[in-house]
Amino acid sequence: MSGTIEAKLATLGITLPTPAAPIANYVPSVRSGALLVVSGQLCFGADGKLVAKGQLGGAVSVEDGQKAARACAINLLAQVKAALGDLDRVTRVVRLGGFINSAPGFTDGPKVMNGASDLMVEVFGDKGRHARSTVGVSALPADAAVEVEGLFEVS
| pLDDT tens-place values along the chain, 155 residues long | 468 999 999 999 999 999 999 989 999 999 999 999 999 999 999 999 999 999 999 999 999 999 999 999 999 999 999 999 999 999 999 999 999 999 999 999 999 999 999 999 999 999 999 999 999 999 999 999 999 999 999 99
**For position 25, what pLDDT does the model report?**
96
User: Domain total for the chain?
Assistant: 1
**For position 52, what pLDDT does the model report?**
98
- List the CATH number of the domain containing 134: 3.30.1330.40
**For position 114, what pLDDT does the model report?**
98
Count, in order, helices (H) and strands (E) of the chain.
Answer: 3, 5
Question: Residue 114 in contact with residue 66, Cβ under 8 Å?
Answer: yes
- Domain hosting 76: range is 4-20+29-154
Give the H/E segment covering residue 93.
Answer: strand 90-101
* Residue 99 CA, distance from chain mean position: 10
What is the 8-class DSSP label of residue 104?
Answer: T
**For position 2, what pLDDT does the model report?**
63
